[in-house]
Amino acid sequence: MRVQKGLVMGLLVVLLGTAAAVNAGAQDQAEAVSLGDVVVTATRTPTPEGAVGVSHTVITEEEIQARQAADVAELLRDVAGITLVRQGSQGAQSVIFPRGGENNFTMVLIDGVQVNLGGGDFYWETLSTDNIERIEIIRGPQSALYGSDAIGGVIQIFTKSGYGPPSVEVSTAHGARSENGNYLGEQHLRVSGGNDQMGFSVAYGRIDDGGALDINNDYWNNTLSARFDLFPKDNWEITLTGRLNDSRYEYPTESIGDKYSPLDPDQHEREMDTVVGLTTRVQATSWWENVASVGYHRNDREIDDPYNPETDFYAWNGEYEETRTTFDYHANLTFSPADPVSSVLTLGYEYERETYHQESTDFATTKLTADRTNDALYVQEQLSFFDRVHLVGGFRVEDNSAFGTEVSPRGSIAVDIRETGTKLRAAAGKGIKEPTFYENFADDAWTLGNEDLDPETAVSWEVGVDQRLWEDRVTIGLTYFESRYKDLIAYVPTPYPAPPVRTPNFFNVQEAESRGVELAVKVRAMENVTLGGSYTFLDTEVTDDGGLGSVAFKEGKDLIRRPSHAASGWIDWRWGGFRTFVKGLYVGERDDVYWRVAERVELDDYFVLDATVSYQVPAPAPIKDMEVFVKGSNILDEDYEEAFGFTAPGASFMAGLSFKL
């Protein structure tokens, strides 16, 4: 009944807004204003960067193209405050730690649709750059706007829209890995176009990688992405987006990696990920905008490990299916009570339903089926004075069928001193993360879930300054932050001898904290030369291990796999028809765990250098923008580990061709 009431309320508001828009007519439309560089994810409204009070990074289509990046994970490596860890070669499990938080502390959105698994997990290895226009990274808790899972930040992917005459873009690249000569391939195709009434952009991409290991390390990935925009009236737009990803990864490694265990010749994972979003925006009057959206995400995974006497004690197979369906409505109400004051008030409601099904087979078959629902109301006020001082405050109230009611507030301030090119900013907020389905509902021979778990929480604050120099040819961003993580969920072993009545194995008993400094610099040294870089200092500590004595989460010690120092630098140089992009990444020493002997180890620091060189080739009509390119990864063939026991890939090189029709 609660679901039906929420949907009916949302649909009524949308219908009222649409009717008002039709009656208002074109004469009541707000005058078009050019906002310049804007950020959408920080406030859910297009906001000029000078008015954004939270630390953020925007990766543009131009930057993606310059790097010839095939997957999003490689782009995130260079972002201040983010640590990315990949357990092996391309296709291996890849996770990020935002500002020292856990690897399930970042909400991921594709065109507004959340694609995390229930409980926050997201694996970056299968997300390609096909049809991506820009990526916005917002650091710090954002649960006031986005709810559970936005505990450490939000990363939103925006799909390209179509415009202009119909066009076709083609790219093909082929290469090999240095350690074994295994094949590398990337194929991309995009068709797009549009006019004043509609636009479309449809793309397909294929990635093939023979792997860095000699046994069972193949990976392939197919991605189909589409976006359709309709503009029935000047004040009404409808956007339909979809993304389908089908991938298969063969991995011979167990939990302790490939260096300290025999390699399994048959173990593999197959994954199918589906995302669909429908959004309508109606500018009912000059001051009232209605935004309604429906989102659907489904993830299907199968892990198959046939029995091999050299590596396995038994055969194992696991199938996982997770879905999330959401409905969101919010109104943006714009007011200017006085000339130097402007206000945007956002009022919203969101409904979410998650389902989970797991079936695994070893000696017996184990099944788990569960679902959760969530209703949320959120409010946000954006208040600006003299177009210089920008205040944002808001909160969200969630009613979750699993963890009950939670309130998440946040606030920020940005002071734009245009005369000196300086922006001062500060932000603070609370974030929450719901338990995973397994933590809530597990019921097998080894583990019993806890349906009374609270969400994990984070309280964070930051202060920063952004400085523009030399007629905006130099930009510098500096941020200091602190975060406190509480009610972290831990596995608590069943006591021995076991009690007569089973007790849950998961409890909110652990705490940690992190603090650090983030620096980002970009310099346009000459018209054809741009360079930049980032640096992160991170200090983490386990403040309460829950009395469990875990080697991976030990009181007074650093959180594992988080380096104290990380830096990246790049240069983009164009001359004539040539373009060269060179990027270096340094990751400092960090703790990890050798699970076979349950001991902490220290991973060495490493430096990886990548480079791309392209050349614009004159081509006869109808071919245009023809380009040949060569790109190399880890061109110095650095020997390193991102996770203990897992071999990181050595040097690899590819050559390719791209053009438009």
Per-residue CA distances from 395 to 212, 301, 347 (Å): 47, 35, 10
Q: From the CA atom positions of the chain, what is the Rg in Å?
A: 25
The residue to which tokens 């020997």 are assigned = 639
Confidence bin at 2 (pLDDT 50/70/90)? very low
Residue 122 has pLDDT above 70, yes or no: yes
Confidence bin at 262 (pLDDT 50/70/90)? confident
Beta bridge partners of 590: 603
pTM of the entire predicted model:
0.93
β-strands 153-159, 107-110 pairing: parallel
Q: What is the pLDDT of residue 72?
A: 96
- Is 217 in contact with 246 (CB distance < 8 Å)? no
Number of H helices, E strands in the chain: 5, 33
Range 624-631 average pLDDT:
95
Residue 30 has pLDDT above 60, yes or no: no
Q: What is the pLDDT of residue 636?
A: 97
Q: Tell me how far apart the alpha carbons of residues 87 and 645 are, in angstroms, rounded to a whole number.
A: 9
Q: Tell me how far apart the alpha carbons of residues 177 and 158 are, in angstroms, rounded to a whole number.
A: 31
- If phi > 0 it is left, if psi is from -120 to 50 it is alpha, else beta; for residue 149 that is left
Q: What is the pLDDT of residues 559-609, one digit of tens each?
A: 999 999 999 999 999 998 999 999 999 999 999 999 889 999 999 999 999
Contacts 24+ apart (CB under 8 A), 538-541: 538/83, 538/99, 538/100, 538/514, 538/562, 538/563, 538/564, 538/565, 538/566, 539/100, 539/514, 539/515, 539/564, 540/100, 540/512, 540/513, 540/514, 541/512, 541/513, 541/514
Cβ count within 10 A of residue 94: 25
Confidence bin at 261 (pLDDT 50/70/90)? confident
3-state secondary structure of 143: helix
**Of the candidates 392, 536, 524, which has an alpha carbon nearest to the alpha carbon of residue 477?**
536
Residue 104 has pLDDT above 50, yes or no: yes
Range 49-77 average pLDDT:
94
3-state secondary structure of 253: coil
Q: Tell me how far apart the alpha carbons of residues 396 and 145 are, in angstroms, rounded to a whole number.
A: 6
Q: What is the mean pLDDT of the chain?
A: 92
Range 16-42 average pLDDT:
48
Q: What are phi and psi of 428, to 5 degrees?
A: -150, 150
Range 357-371 average pLDDT:
92
Q: Tell me how far apart the alpha carbons of residues 487 and 66 are, in angstroms, rounded to a whole number.
A: 42
Range 282-305 average pLDDT:
97
Residue type, 67: R
Kindly state the percentage of the chain with pLDDT values over 70: 95
Q: What is the pLDDT of residue 255?
A: 75
- Within 308-455, residue ranges assigned H as helices are 437-441
Q: What is the pLDDT of residue 9?
A: 36
Residue 641 has pLDDT above 50, yes or no: yes
- Is 51 in contact with 417 (CB distance < 8 Å)? no
Q: What is the pLDDT of residues 74-98, one digit of tens each?
A: 999 999 999 999 999 999 999 999 9
CATH number of 2-660: 2.40.170.20
Per-residue CA distances from 257 to 38, 178, 604, 644 (Å): 43, 21, 17, 7
Residues 613, 618, 619, 621, Cα dihedral to 10°: 130
Q: What is the pLDDT of residues 146-184, one digit of tens each?
A: 999 999 999 999 999 999 999 999 999 999 999 999 999
Q: What is the pLDDT of residues 403-441, one digit of tens each?
A: 999 999 999 999 999 999 999 999 999 999 999 999 999
Residue 496 has pLDDT above 50, yes or no: yes
Structure tokens of 74?
């490689």
Residue 22 has pLDDT above 80, yes or no: no
Residue 12 has pLDDT above 60, yes or no: no
- Is 383 in contact with 411 (CB distance < 8 Å)? no
- Is 83 in contact with 96 (CB distance < 8 Å)? yes
Structure tokens of 120?
């926050």
Structure tokens of 257?
């990696």
Confidence bin at 141 (pLDDT 50/70/90)? very high
Q: What is the pLDDT of residue 201?
A: 98
Confidence bin at 499 (pLDDT 50/70/90)? confident
Residue 13 has pLDDT above 60, yes or no: no
Residues near 62 by Cβ (< 8 Å), separated by ≥ 6? none
- Is 635 in contact with 651 (CB distance < 8 Å)? yes
Structure tokens of 387?
């177009």
- Cα 162 from chain centre: 24
Residues near 651 by Cβ (< 8 Å), separated by ≥ 6? 177, 178, 179, 632, 633, 634, 635, 636, 637
Q: What is the pLDDT of residue 363?
A: 82
Residue 26 has pLDDT above 80, yes or no: no
β-strands 316-338, 341-361 pairing: antiparallel
